[in-house]
Amino acid sequence: MAMIKNSFVLADGEQFSEEQNDVIHQAVAFANHNLTQSQTRAFVIEGGAGAGKSVVLFEIFKQLQAAKSQWRNFLLVNHAEMWKSYRELASYQPGLKKNQFLKPTTFINQMTRHNQTADVVLIDEAHLLLTAPDRYNKFQQENQLVEILKHARVVILVFDAHQVLKLKSMWHGDQLQTILAPFRPETVQLSEQYRMVGQSQSVVEWIDQLTQHKKIIDVATTPSFDLRIYNDANRLYTAICQENQRVGMSRILATTDYPYTVNRGKWYVTLDDFKLPWDQLDTGVTPWALRPETIDEVGSVYTIQGFDLNYAGVIIGPGIRYDNQKDQLIIDPSHYEDKAAFRSVGGKNLSLEDKQSIMLNALNILLKRGRHGLFIAVADPVLRQKLLASVPKQSRY
């Protein structure tokens, strides 16, 4: 969905698709019916990056509030930047209050302390819920979803297994289904791609093959979606700045293969003679993607997840390479600088496959941010040449 103020409302002139409307109507009817029943029930919306999950969830929340304002409804998200946007939305959407938009731990602790139960709890990015205790987030129990279900009559959540980014929120196998089974869940799919506009399905398939199967396939010409592979990261940055001047909401992003330490000065993303600082931690109310000065920074998966850009420039760092003999991507966790992502929790350690999955999930999120265009620069020269060969001549820069 278009990002005018954020990614959670439709832009002027846009309408929900038939698929999205069906999901909205099903979820609202599910909540209305099950609030008259005695057992807690769960409704799951599955869909990939760019499927419009957040905009659908927010519409469900608005409709439930408009129908019964006396209900105690909450929308939770375990993502600081998205939480900021939801709270900003509440300030100008009729019938909504900022205290209805909480982080999961805040909700759990608040409900537990007062022995309360909410009516409907909606969870955005439920794949980011903690699946282990986390002292940093002041969560002492074993699983946030389990705790939320104890304090809600109806839970509506959106989930995408390909957007898990840390061990402490790793969902293995059928863990979600096992937790939800006693609550007789209904599951629906958002299968279409709504972020990347025009004839971009071939680009979506190209990204999916890359991030889910480690394969590079040829991509067809996409006249209404601007896909470019750059030999030079500085030229990519210049192009993103030009698009930002022209249409706004264009930013540089990178995989987390470049050193950084939170709250300890500036750290840089470098590629040949390109050098730009990582995004800076900001405790204000405006998300990173909406601050104009961030055109001079490089965004991470944590600052951009859940948001739309008009044009995304993505730098793929040295942790993702290509092996011509094996004809597949090589994912090297030793280059991944997000040490917290792999940190052992409760004695559990990540396998090499888990670590590679986290890195590929992060790449998938970054590559699906742009509505109108995706520009890519690559550290590994072999991967760069392979990507250049996979796109039409007019996409090679």
Bridge pairing between strands 328-331 and 320-323: antiparallel
Terminus-to-terminus CA distance in the chain, angstroms?
A: 28
Kindly indicate whether the domain formed by 18-190 is annotated with CATH number 3.40.50.300.
Answer: yes
- Tokens encoding 132: 């282990």
CA 309, chain centre distance (Å) = 12
3-state secondary structure the chain: CCCCCCCCCCCCCCCCCHHHHHHHHHHHHHHHHHCCCCCCEEEEEEECCCCCHHHHHHHHHHHHHHHCCCCCEEEEECCHHHHHHHHHHHCCCCCCCHHHEECHHHHHHHHHHHCCCEEEEEEECHHHCCCCCECCCCECCCCHHHHHHCCEEEEEEEECHHHCCCHHHCCCCCHHHHHHHHHCCEEEEECCCCCCCCCCHHHHHHHHHHHHHCCCCCCCCCCCCEEEEECCHHHHHHHHHHHHHHHCCEEEEECCCCCCCCCCCCCEEEECCEEEEECCCCCCCCCHHHCHHHHHCEECHHHHCCCCEEEEEEEECCCEEEECCCCEEEECHHHCCCHHHHCCECCECCCHHHHHHHHHHHHHHHHCCEEEEEEEEECCHHHHHHHHHHCCHHHEC
**Strand ranges of the sheet holding 309-316, from the earlier edge strand across to the other edge:** 226-230, 370-378, 309-316, 250-254, 298-299
Residue 263: predicted pLDDT: 62
**CB burial class (10 A; 0-12, 13-18, 19+) of residue 136?**
exposed
CA distance 252 to 236: 9
Q: What angle do CA 228, 328, 201 make, to 5 degrees?
A: 45
- Tokens encoding 85: 């946007």
Residue 3: predicted pLDDT: 36
Consecutive 10-residue averages of pLDDT for the chain (397 residues): 46 77 97 94 91 92 87 91 87 89 95 95 94 81 94 96 83 88 96 73 92 94 89 98 96 92 78 92 76 94 87 97 96 90 73 92 94 96 97 94
Residues composing the chain: 397
- DSSP β-bridge partners for residue 125: none
The domains of the chain are located at 18-190, 200-395
Q: Dihedral sign for Cα 389, 392, 393, 397, please.
A: negative
| Other CB atoms within 10 Å distance of the CB of residue 289 | 23
Residue 198: predicted pLDDT: 62
CA distance 131 to 114: 24
| Other CB atoms within 10 Å distance of the CB of residue 302 | 19
For residue 30, what are the contacts with CB-CB under 8 A and spacing of at least 6?
Answer: 41, 43, 154, 156, 186
**CB burial class (10 A; 0-12, 13-18, 19+) of residue 178?**
exposed
Q: Check if the beta carbon of residue 397 is closer than 8 Å to that of residue 229.
A: yes
Using only the alpha carbons of the chain, give its radius of gyration: 21
Residue 13: predicted pLDDT: 53
Q: Under CATH, which number does the domain 200-395 receive? A: 3.40.50
